[in-house]
Structure 1
């Protein structure tokens, strides 16, 4: 990271403080002279220092935050010229302290390397002046002391500038990190909001499928059985009573499924048995001109409730469509559990529908439910050739079995 081109605000007082110290020291030295003041030299000395004060004020007013590189170089050159003028007009020699500001300012204007070069240049100028104009300067304690003090001052000035730049860079990195953290927090909040929206939409779709597949099926069955009871009311009282009984069962079953759904939402669901549910469904949906044969082979233990429920809802949808739309007289429901997964086949002898016919919400809901479990739905139908719905779920849709058992080949037949 490049060095900032101006001292941080907390260090902007350093040059002015040093100017004030040099001014006070120079004037004090003049007043301690032999009773006569060098008016011209003193006036020039004070004027140059006032120009330095003015230069600092102009820089602060024009560049409150930072000075661009080119103006900073020009300002540094102007300061250097004024430093030389003040040093030439100062008989006390205290103005040599101003040269420690050269690497200090250069550090912010041009960077660390420029500050080190400026420090070496200041020491070189003092050493060259001593060599050229001060005989045997190396044997004079005063000149050796001046050289050492200037060297120490330059080291301190460069060190102070380096610390200030490091602090400023650290502050800049911290502010950048805080901005990135704030941006990340906003992105995370947006992501959480989108996840919440998607979760809500997913749950809404799930509830819509549940309502259609459970309540929709049972309400359809109730309507069919009541129509049957009304049709046989005067001709066959026993058949009418049976139809009313089946309608009552469907109503009770619908209420049970609503309660089951509520318990599931509260994580209080009971274990679901597909074979028992299919047997129950076939027994109460069978009757009149519709005959249902349900078969379950293999062991359903080890398959999660979601997979078993998906198969049950698919069987419900197939039976409802076969009776309501296909006007079928015979429906076969076969479920086979194996090592690779489960397969459900619902086949009827109804009037079918042509290829490419628009699927209703029930079939779309079936595909969505099965797709969430990684399974597939295959529907084959033709006019007057019946309909075959095949649902396949992979073993990956199953959870580890709680009780290991040997998959049986036994079949249950229910009419």
Structure 2
């Protein structure tokens, strides 16, 4: 089950604000009976609904109890609201149910809310169906229900699309890692085999050359082990927290330092995977190709997006002569999948800087 906040997080807050302003205006303009206690209860009820949404967001799940509690609070607020405008809150019932329990639940509760409104009119107002004002209210409420359900459908499809992008990205990543393991490990094993053959050939004729060959073989084996550990690490399940993933990345390599500014927002899985993989790719390129001795990873969580910058003190390279090498094309494609962008700055002898932004 998914909470309302993971769909379109601003909808509920906007509706609560509109209802609050309408109720306060009705009371302060002297259109009601001036009951201060009733007005205070109305405001407190809306505050309780907002608090319930916050609890739901923090828990990260939405059991049926939340929906029932929200519905009860809506009835309380509507009963305390003299203006009668609080009935618009019930538009959120099918919206929330759609996002949490699926399309059928949303449609059923939407129809039930409409039926309750008609029943209320029938009980309180004889011949309400002949009154243009009540017919207009019914029409507007019905329109609100349709728009709420349509918005929930759009949010649900967007969520599914993001999950699909993450799945495709993971498949692409596995294929890339398979090639990296094959090429990198194969290269190191070949080098080890050659050095061992050299050590065998020179064992009697030139012991010093044989010893050097064994030393080179041991270094190749160590590099192969590091590459395997890095590649296997990236095959793990995508991390939920970018902060935790980058911290682990730094712990695996003592030349990597990580700095994080701001509080991590509720990023979707595709964005977390994109930023994590971009950092891994940039660090790997800096170590393997740039021969860097220091790599700095900086992340800034801002109001409009997340910015990842990886800089190194490696050899650098000529961008005009290397447009698709060093995994640059893959970085740009991965960032584009989540609506972000990737830029690379480098010069021979001046290190490399990779910047990835995700909105």
TM-score norm. by structure 1 comes to 0.44
2:18 maps to 1:48: no
Maintained 8 Å contact 2:23/2:81: yes
Q: Once the 2 structures are TM-superposed, how far is the Cα of residue 40 of structure 1 from its aligned partner?
A: 2.5
Q: Once the 2 structures are TM-superposed, how far is the Cα of residue 140 of structure 1 from its aligned partner?
A: 0.6
SS at match of 1:11: coil
Q: What is residue 132 of structure 1 aligned with on the other side?
A: 123
Maintained 8 Å contact 1:7/1:108: yes
| Alpha-carbon RMSD | 2.8
How many equivalent pairs are there? 199
Q: What is residue 159 of structure 2 aligned with on the other side?
A: 168
Task: Work out which of the residue numbers 137, 149, 153 in structure 2 matches 1:146.
Answer: 137
Q: What is residue 25 of structure 2 aligned with on the other side?
A: 28
Q: 1:53 to 1:35 in 2, by over 3 A?
A: closer
Comparing 30-39 with 164-173, greater Cα deviation is found at 30-39
Distance 1:48 1:107 in 2: 24
Distance 1:128 1:53 in 2: 28
Task: Kindly provide the CA deviation profile for residues 34-78 of structure 1, in whole angstroms up to 9, marking residues without a partner as x.
Answer: 685112221221121111122122223x22xx31x53xx111111
Task: Work out which of the residue numbers 187, 197, 205 in structure 1 matches 2:178.
Answer: 187
Distance 1:177 1:92 in 2: 51
Q: What is residue 72 of structure 2 aligned with on the other side?
A: 81
Maintained 8 Å contact 2:93/2:110: yes
SS at match of 2:74: helix
Distance 1:97 1:202 in 2: 75
Maintained 8 Å contact 1:8/1:164: no
Q: What is residue 110 of structure 2 aligned with on the other side?
A: 119
Alignment of 1:215-364 (within 5 A): none
Q: Once the 2 structures are TM-superposed, how far is the Cα of residue 32 of structure 1 from its aligned partner?
A: 2.3
Task: Work out which of the residue numbers 91, 97, 102 in structure 1 matches 2:93.
Answer: 102
Maintained 8 Å contact 1:16/1:56: no
Q: What is residue 14 of structure 1 aligned with on the other side?
A: 11
Q: Once the 2 structures are TM-superposed, how far is the Cα of residue 191 of structure 1 from its aligned partner?
A: 3.0
Maintained 8 Å contact 1:86/1:95: yes
Q: 1:132 to 1:36 in 2, by over 3 A?
A: closer
User: Which has more radius of gyration?
Assistant: 1
Note the residue ranges of structure 2 that are not aligned, 5 or more in a row: 196-359
The structure, 1 or 2, with the larger RCO (C-alpha pairs under 8 Å, 6+ apart) is 1
Maintained 8 Å contact 2:7/2:152: no
Distance 1:33 1:89 in 2: 16
Q: What is residue 158 of structure 1 aligned with on the other side?
A: 149
Distance 2:140 2:32 in 1: 30
Task: Work out which of the residue numbers 168, 171, 178 in structure 2 matches 1:177.
Answer: 168
Task: Work out which of the residue numbers 56, 59, 81 in structure 2 matches 1:59.
Answer: 56
Distance 2:118 2:32 in 1: 33
Q: What is residue 92 of structure 1 aligned with on the other side?
A: 83
Task: Kindly provide the CA deviation profile for residues 306-337 of structure 1, in whole angstroms up to 9, marking residues without a partner as x.
Answer: xxxxxxxxxxxxxxxxxxxxxxxxxxxxxxxx
Distance 1:35 1:87 in 2: 14
Task: Kindly provide the CA deviation profile for residues 224-277 of structure 1, in whole angstroms up to 9, marking residues without a partner as x.
Answer: xxxxxxxxxxxxxxxxxxxxxxxxxxxxxxxxxxxxxxxxxxxxxxxxxxxxxx
Q: 1:120 to 1:101 in 2, by over 3 A?
A: same
Q: 1:83 to 1:36 in 2, by over 3 A?
A: closer
Maintained 8 Å contact 2:32/2:83: no
Distance 2:100 2:32 in 1: 44
Distance 2:76 2:32 in 1: 24
Q: 1:200 to 1:94 in 2, by over 3 A?
A: same
Distance 1:6 1:56 in 2: 9
Distance 2:146 2:194 in 1: 70
